[in-house]
Chains A and B, each alone.
Chain A
Amino acid sequence: MFSIPTFLDSFGPLFWAARYTLLVSGLGIALGLVIGALICAARLSGVAFLRTFAALWVSFLRGVPLLVQLLLVYFLLPVIGIDVPALVAAVVTVGICASAYISEIWRGAIGALPRGQTEAARAIGMGPGDVWTRIVLPQAVTMSLPALINELILLVKASSLVSVVGIMEITRASQAQAATTFRPMEVYLAAACIYLMINLCLAALGRYLEHRMAV
């Protein structure tokens, strides 16, 4: 029998655990945006070494599952003598993984800009700095917003993976809860509801931004 009280009681602790989910995905995307921008810049730069480095970065991080990356970092760091809290290691790993996808989102947005946009700027004598900051980036950032929101939704879901390194986010908390209540179905259903709520909010934000940018 489905126990409605257990289902409802699960929400309290799981909401509390959601702060880690939001922390890991929020900081993860922030870090991913910064590193992604650098990787994208390297990928588009004229320096062959940087281009190769960026290409390898992207293909490694996209080719290896995040779960494996997390385990690698978690077990590798102590071996090479770096002692950081699991939470920091998790955020950094998630951010680095996201940077690979984000750099590709930005590269795509920049590549989608018609050539005429930069030609018009160069034709009036605008320098490369202004061409980037005034013409290319504002348009590329706006164009990439829906894809970035989508990436953030993926990260919220992927953050369940950091449970393997012991972080008490929604998924890990619900495992613990299920074990003590012997009511896995009620608890996991509550967890599913919380994930859904977070992501429906993000999707709504995405629609709002998309609506606003359609001038």
Chain B
Amino acid sequence: MVQASSVEIRGVNKFYGPFQALKDIDMSIAPGKVTCLIGPSGSGKSTLLRCINFLEEYDSGEVRIDGQLIGYEAPGRKMSARKLRAMRRSIGMVFQQFNLWPHMTAIQNVTEGLVRVRGMKKPEAEARAAEALNKVGLGDKMGNHPSRLSGGQQQRVAIARAIAMEPRLMLFDEPTSALDPELVGEVLTVMKTLAAEGMTMVVVTHEMGFAAHVADQVAFMEKGELVGMDIPDRILHQPEDPRIQGFLRSYHERNSF
């Protein structure tokens, strides 16, 4: 079992110029829970996810990890870069485009953070990285550069890169959207394992199956607003809000044949 973080989001607003991308978002995520963010394109899912590790700077409101405010010392006063980095060490992030470093092999991608950020000695980091890569089923591909890996394998390396840092919270931004359909399963399997181990996870996804079966709660966003958040069944099968109903209807139309 991993030591898992809680996330508390209170009244978060985010503006791009005059455009408001997040409108007064409130969200509570208990330790060890899996939260899926769904909603139409441009609704602010990625923006909200990226506010959680402050890759995106929110303008007002609070995001707290285990009670500690991230990005700001106090409302309106920025946190030092060093403190922010310390907080990010325990937050893993997985991107839609994998974002592996192409000039490094799979295992170098994983050891990089261990050596540079955690200050580990190289042999120790390599042992840890090998362990993480084995866990995602890539023990035999450690010496490959990303260009010599399939999309699914690249995404699993990216997950290994994150979990090797022993995060207490994992953020996933559409981790399977760039993958060919037959490669989605291998990545979701790894994510399910993580969830079963008690990792706190926030997952932006269009995989409704994953949301239905793995998530503890599903949040639906539209136009920068959090429209509803509940257990998967209530959002996915008996939504009351017409906006969620409309979204799911078009989702089913697209995915039926």
Contact = CB atoms under 8 A, between A and B. Distances in A.
Given A119-B55, A130-B116, A215 B99 contact: no
Interface in A122-150: 122-128, 130, 134-135, 138-139, 142
Nearest to B146: A215
30 contacts: A114-B97, A116-B97, A119-B55, A119-B95, A120-B93, A120-B99, A120-B158, A122-B88, A123-B92, A123-B93, A124-B88, A124-B89, A124-B92, A124-B93, A124-B117, A124-B161, A124-B162, A125-B85, A125-B87, A125-B113, A125-B165, A126-B85, A126-B113, A127-B82, A128-B81, A134-B112, A139-B103, A142-B103, A215-B102, A215-B145
Contact of A116 (B95, B103, B161): B95
Contact of B95 (A120, A126, A134): A120
A117 interface: yes
Nearest to B161: A124
Contact of A215 (B55, B112, B147): B147
B96 to A, nearest CB: 9
B145 A134 contact: no
Nearest to A116: B99
Contacts of B158: 120
Which residue of B99, B148, B165 has the most chain A CB atoms within 10 A of its CB atom? B99
A125 B117 contact: yes
Across the A-B interface, give the 9 residue pairs with the lowest CB-CB distance, nearest first.
A116-B99, A120-B99, A125-B89, A125-B88, A123-B93, A124-B113, A125-B85, A130-B116, A125-B117
Nearest to B116: A130
A114 B100 CA distance: 11
A139 B146 CA distance: 14
A124 B147 contact: no
Contacts of A125: 85-89, 113, 117, 165
A120 B89 contact: no
A122 B55 contact: yes
Contacts, number: 66
A135 B97 contact: no
A200 to B, nearest CB: 29
Interface string A172-196: 0000000000000000000000000
A129 to B, nearest CB: 9
A123 B55 contact: yes
B99 A114 contact: yes
A169 B206 CA distance: 66
Contacts of B160: none
Contacts of B195: none
B53 A134 contact: no
A139 B102 contact: yes
Interface in B85-128: 85-89, 91-93, 95, 97, 99-103, 112-113, 116-117
A205 to B, nearest CB: 21
A127 B88 CA distance: 11
B73 to A, nearest CB: 18
Contacts of A117: 99, 101
A117 B116 CA distance: 16
Given A126-B117, A130-B116, A120 B86 contact: no
A128 B117 CA distance: 11
A122 B95 CA distance: 13
A123 B95 CA distance: 10
Contacts of A119: 55, 95, 99
B151 to A, nearest CB: 14
Interface string B73-87: 000000001100111
Contacts of A130: 116-117
Given A124-B89, A124-B165, A126-B116, A135 B145 contact: no
Nearest to A129: B116
Contacts of B85: 125-127
A188 to B, nearest CB: 45
A123 B91 contact: yes
Contacts of B55: 119, 122-123
Contacts of A122: 55, 88
A61 to B, nearest CB: 31
